Amino acid sequence: MSIIKIDNNNIKINTENIVYSKGYSRPSKSILDPNLYNKYKSIKDSFNLFEELRDNLLDECLNYMFSSVININENIYTLDGECYNLISFNESKFYNITNKLNCKYSNYIIVLNEIYTYPKIQYIYILSGYFENVRICMSKISNFIVIVCYNKLKNLDFILKNDLYIKDFNVKVDEVVIKYLKDDNDDYFRNIINLNDKITKKCESLSQLTNLNREICIISKYYKALIEKKCNMNCNCRPSNIFYSDLLECYICENCLVLTRFLTV
């Protein structure tokens, strides 16, 4: 997991150079490994380890970047004393999010489920020309991305068509940003593929299957406690409370929800 920071630059977008399309852009080879992506997409997610954590993913990512995270209401957060407006990027036409970024707020949090296409990373890179800096953070747990846009210097001054998809903004993204993003995407695919393989093997054995739901439940509780900073570090970790997680390849204490690679005896 990387926190990618893009400082303000002099990027200028010429709306006449934007290439539009009637269809959604395909995943870009520059941002992900096609073989890993295809294998990841082929997984039939019978066991979703992190389904119960969907509501915690925003806090997870924000805690990586800020020491103080306060949720004021559904769309407003205070992060290290600064006010941020939350925006969901749940479409690929970029039109609505551009209008929302021109609201009265100076700072914004943009959430989205993935960055697999080049136009998306181009758009985020373009935003760095309008803010003091832009930071990209991917969840370690699930397919969830947070974009933090700090201190808007000017409103977005380009106009996008509302009825078409964008195929190319005709802006070259810094190769360092591309590399970090690709590494994070590929690491996520590998982790999910690896977990799926382990779960599939467990399902082949009745004795292992009986413990699988328990293990998934404890792992989910662990990550939730970690995000909410509620792990009990004063636990004596009795051996009867400790079990080995094949999925995470470490020991977990069910009481304090602390992970260790060494069994306490």
What are the tens digits of pLDDT across the range 21-47? 888 888 999 999 999 999 998 886 545
- Decide if pLDDT at 92 tops 80: no
User: Average per-residue pLDDT in the chain?
Assistant: 84
- Decide if pLDDT at 79 tops 60: yes
Query: Mean pLDDT over residues 166-170, rounded?
Result: 92
Query: Mean pLDDT over residues 198-211, rounded?
Result: 70
Least confident of 85-99, 188-202, 231-245: 231-245
Tell me the C-alpha distance between 222 and 150, whole Å.
31
Burial class (CB in 10 A: 0-12, 13-18, 19+), 55: exposed
Q: How far apart are the first and last CA of the chain?
A: 33
Residue 147 bridge partners (DSSP): 110, 136
Give the CB-side neighbour count of residue 190, counting CA atoms within 13 A.
Answer: 9
pLDDT-derived band at 216, boundaries 50, 70, 90: confident
- Decide if pLDDT at 264 tops 50: no
Tell me the C-alpha distance between 227 and 214, whole Å.
20
Tell me the C-alpha distance between 156 and 149, whole Å.
13
Query: What SS3 state is found at 122?
Result: helix
Whole-prediction pTM: 0.85
- Name residues whose C-beta falls within 8 Å of residue 14's C-beta, 6 or more positions apart in sequence: 170
Cβ distance 202 to 196 under 8 Å? no
pLDDT tens for residues 5-18? 999 988 878 888 99
Largest CA distance in the chain: 68
Tell me the C-alpha distance between 227 and 140, whole Å.
11
Cβ distance 94 to 160 under 8 Å? yes
**What per-residue confidence (pLDDT) applies to 164?**
85
Tell me the C-alpha distance between 68 and 196, whole Å.
35
pLDDT-derived band at 263, boundaries 50, 70, 90: very low
Q: Which of 145, 146, 151 is nearest to 133 (CA)?
A: 151
DSSP designation for 200: H
| Report for 136-145, 154-163, 178-187, 209-218: range of highest mean pLDDT | 178-187
The residue among 247 and 70 whose pLDDT is bigger is 70
Give the CB-side neighbour count of residue 130, counting CA atoms within 13 A.
Answer: 21
- Decide if pLDDT at 63 tops 50: yes
